[in-house]
Amino acid sequence: MYHFDWIKRHAERTPEKLALVDAHSGQKWTYAQLNGRANQFATFLRDKLGVQQGDRVSLLAQNSGDYYVILFACAKIGAILNTLNWRLTAPELEYILNDCTPHTLIYDSEFAGAVDTLRPSITVENYVCLGNSVPDGDWTYENALDAGSPADFEGPRLRYEDTWAILYTSGTTGRPKGAQVTYGNFFYNAVGMGQAIDLHAADINLNVLPTFHAGGLGLYAGPIFHSGGTLIVMRAFNPGEMLHLIQEWRVTKLLLVPAIYLALLQFPDFDQYDISSVVHWGSGGSALPTSLVQSYAEKGIIVQQGFGMTETGPTVFMID
C-alpha cells in the first residue's frame, strides 16, 4: 500500500507542507492533516460500516477538498471509489448504482432529494451525507470523521492491477459502462504526467474540472499529490474567481478544457490579472481550435494539448 499512499509518504517527509485548499469553503490541509483526515474516514468506513477491500463506495458530490480525502481514504482500506456524475437524472443514477452495487453511498446535501428518490430502488447498506441535516439512519460526514482515528494503520497489500476507482463513461454506444481504473493506472499516470509537465513539490495546481470525471480526479490532482505539491480545488468554474485564485496563489500548472479557455479569453477583465506565475497551460477533453491557440499565443501563452480517455487512466499523450 505504501507505494500508492502518496499523502502518507509526504506526511512523513514534509508534514507541514500545504497539500490541499478548498477554494469554496476556505479549508486548508497540510500533508499531515490531509493524511490524518483520510485515515479518520478510512477507519470509519472499515470499523463502523464494515467496508472491506474490494467493496464499492459511491460518491455523489460537487467538487471539494474532501472529494480527495475520500479518494485516498478508500485506497487506504482497498475499497473502490465510484464517482457519480451529479448531472445525471435519477433513472440514470439508478442504473449505475444497481450495476456497481456499492456498499455505501456518500452524497452532498444538495442531492438529498435525488438520493431519497433512489433509496427504494437501490441496494445500498449505508449512507453518509456531506452536510449537517440528514435523515434518520444516515451518518453526517463530520460525525463519520469523529468516529474514525487519524493514526496511521497497516492497510491491505495492494497490487498494480487492483481497482482504485470505477468511473462510468459513455464513450461507447448503449448505457454507460464502468471503467475500472487501477492503482497502476493512477501511479503511472502520475509519474508520466509529472515528467511530461515537469512537476515538482513547489508546484501549485488549480483544478476546476469536475472531480467525478477522470480529468478532475486524476489530472493534474494525482500527479500533484504524487510530487508533493499543492492542489487548489474550485467547486465550479467562474472566470473572475479562477483568475483571482491564480493571481492570489501564484498557480504554476493548469489543465483546462477548450470551453474554459474560450470563456477566460472572453472575460472582460482577463488582462487585469497577473497570471504570469503559470508556466504550464494544458488542454484536453476535446479538440483545441487553432484560433484559440493563436489567441493565447498572442498573449505569450503556449497551450499544450493532450489526449486521454477514462479507460486509459486517463492520459494517452501530450503534444510537446
Mean pLDDT of the chain: 96
Q: What is the pLDDT of residue 40?
A: 99
H-helix or E-strand spanning residue 317: strand 315-318
Q: Which domain, by its residues, includes 98?
A: 30-183
Q: Which long-range contacts (CB under 8 A, 24 or more apart) does 96-101 make?
A: 96/168, 96/176, 96/178, 97/58, 97/122, 97/124, 98/122, 98/123, 99/178, 100/56, 100/58, 100/166, 100/168, 100/178, 101/56
* Domains contained in the chain, number: 2
Is 25 inside any structural domain?
A: no
pLDDT tens column, 119-173: 999 999 999 999 888 888 999 999 999 999 999 999 999 999 999 999 999 877 7
- The answer to whether residues 269 and 298 belong to one domain is yes
* Whether residue 2 has pLDDT greater than 70: no
Instruction: Mark which of 132, 165, 183 sits at the end of a domain.
Output: 183
H-helix or E-strand spanning residue 43: helix 31-47
Q: Which three cell numbers stand for residue 12?
A: 512523513
% of the chain with per-residue pLDDT over 70: 99
Name the more confident of 308 and 32.
32
Is 16 inside any structural domain?
A: no
Q: Could you tell me the pTM of the whole model?
A: 0.96
pLDDT tens column, 221-241: 999 999 999 999 999 999 999
Q: What is the pLDDT of residue 20?
A: 99
- The answer to whether residues 204 and 175 belong to one domain is no
- Span 288-297, average pLDDT: 96
Tell me the pLDDT band of 3, cut-offs 50, 70 and 90.
Answer: low
Query: Residue 107 carries which side chain, given as an amino acid letter?
Result: Y
Check which CATH number belongs to the domain holding 56 and give it: 3.40.50.12780
Check which CATH number belongs to the domain holding 279 and give it: 3.40.50.980
Q: What is the pLDDT of residue 241?
A: 99
- Span 4-13, average pLDDT: 95
* Whether residue 64 has pLDDT greater than 60: yes
% of the chain with per-residue pLDDT over 90: 90
Query: Residue 174 carries which side chain, given as an amino acid letter?
Result: G
- The answer to whether residues 45 and 133 belong to one domain is yes
Residue 211 is given by DSSP the state T
